[in-house]
Every structure is written in structure tokens, then in C-alpha cells.
Amino acid sequence: MQTIVCMKWGKRYPADFANRLHSMIKRNTARPTRLVCYTDDMSGLDPAIEGRVLPPIVIPERITYKPWRKVSLWAPTLPGLEGDVLFMDLDLVVTGSLDSFFDYEPSKTFCVIENWTQMGSGIGNTSVYRFRVGAHPYLYDNLQSDADAILARFPNSQTYISKNIKEKTFWPAEWCESFKHTLMPRWPLNFFQTTPLPAATKVVAFTGKPDPDEARDGHWEAPWYKKTYKHVRPTPWIAQHWR
């Protein structure tokens, strides 16, 4: 049984995003695969999703519901989980086989996207990563014991993890694309060209804005003075895959 986990808290993403992720996982895996959703609100989740309370972590209140909370997955144990687990953010569109993410470099305990905006700097983007449960508990322990110093030194959790983890392997670059940073045509072509989907792509991440539904419909929420460059044409392949 392959295990994929996601996290959902607050009002940013409704249960529908988790349900769509589950549907995409089922269509893009050939082996038995379960989705575990750690959340503060299980209402609306598909019954086939294993809803669980958010893993405990003691961190400053100002980051309690920020991406820093994802560090809780590096705890020494996660009840009901063991071995290699794939984490996926909710704002993703799955376009290819996910089984490959479990087969790639099986001896490695942490595989992650090389962050598209920091290539060559050793920083991973944690939209999609595989981790071995309990393999690096010092990331969890150190954040709890010295949070203020860590927050002062690192701008976000993925930089903290990337700079401190003892082992790191990047996925093949063509597997994971960023809708905004690697796929969408540059300005001013984004006003005239539809964002393509390369054949080798397995996952497209929607960091920040636009969200998948917005890009699908050609809508990019932004202040009026940024509309001169923040524009996306309707993207039909999102509707095909994000369901």
C-alpha cells in the first residue's frame, strides 16, 4: 500500500481540493494507494480519504497555521504511518503517474523538487516530496526547542529543511513543473498564448496565485495596477486533469 499525505487547515482551501487530489491520485496510480489528510476540519472530505487530526507541534502562535506546520511531519513517529510516504500540497494538478515517485531512488530518505526560483542553491520546494517516517526527527525537535532563532535565520520552512536535513535528492526536473514559474509564457506572451503542458510532466504546482480553478478559467486575482502583467489565458488541460 502506497501512502500519500496532505494537510489542510484554515479557510484557504475547501474540502473539495482534497477530494480532487484524491480523485487524481486514484487515476494516476497503478498500485493500491491511500490518501491521509491531516486537517482541523474533516467536514466535506470524501469518505475514502483517511481524515486525521493535525500532528502535534509546539511552535510560536504566529506560525501555527503557516507552512511551518508541515515540519510536524518530521516527528519521530506518525501513528499509522511508516516507511516512505509521499507528501503533496492541495494546490496541485496531477497529470502523470505517481507510482514513479515511490520507485525513484528507493534508498533515499528525502526526495524533493528543486525549487524553480532558486536553481543551483540546494533549496527544495516542498509541494511534492517523499520522506521516510522518523528518519530526520531533529528537524522537528530543533524547531520546537529553538523556534525564534530558526525563524530569524530562515525565511520559510522549505529553506530550513533544505539547509539542515542530512540527506537530500531532487526529483527529475521534468516531473514537477510550476504553472507560474516554468510553464506560463513570459510577459507579454501570457496575454496571447495558452500555457502548455509538457508530455513528461507528472505534477503541476500552483504556488501563490493563480489557483488551479482560476488558471483553468483564465482569472488571476490581483490589484488593478498589477493587471498589466498578471494575466493568464483559460487553460483547458487543467479541467481535463483537475477533477
**Residue 149 CA, distance from chain mean position:** 26
Which pLDDT score, from 0 to 100, does residue 72 have? Answer: 98
Which pLDDT score, from 0 to 100, does residue 174 have? Answer: 98
Domain 2-170 CATH class label: alpha beta
Which pLDDT score, from 0 to 100, does residue 116 have? Answer: 97
Specify the domain boundaries for CATH 3.90.550.10 within the chain. 2-170
Instruction: Measure CA of the first residue to CA of the last residue in the chain; give whole Å.
Output: 23
Which pLDDT score, from 0 to 100, does residue 197 have? Answer: 98
Which pTM does this prediction carry? 0.96
Phi first, then psi: give them for residue 104, nearest 5 degrees.
-70, 130
Mean pLDDT by 10 residues, the chain (243 residues): 97 96 98 98 97 96 94 97 98 98 98 97 98 98 97 97 98 98 97 97 96 96 91 97 98
Which pLDDT score, from 0 to 100, does residue 203 have? Answer: 98
Q: Return the SS3 of 88.
A: strand
Which pLDDT score, from 0 to 100, does residue 166 have? Answer: 97
Which residues have CB under 8 Å from 206's CB, separation 6+? Answer: 91, 92, 93, 179, 180, 212, 215
Phi first, then psi: give them for residue 166, nearest 5 degrees.
-85, -10
Closest CA to 52 of 80, 24, 71, 86: 80
Gap between the Cα atoms of 119 and 196, Å rounded: 21
Q: Please answer whether residues 158 and 141 qualify as being in contact, where contact means their C-beta atoms are separated by less than 8 angstroms.
A: no
Which pLDDT score, from 0 to 100, does residue 236 have? Answer: 97
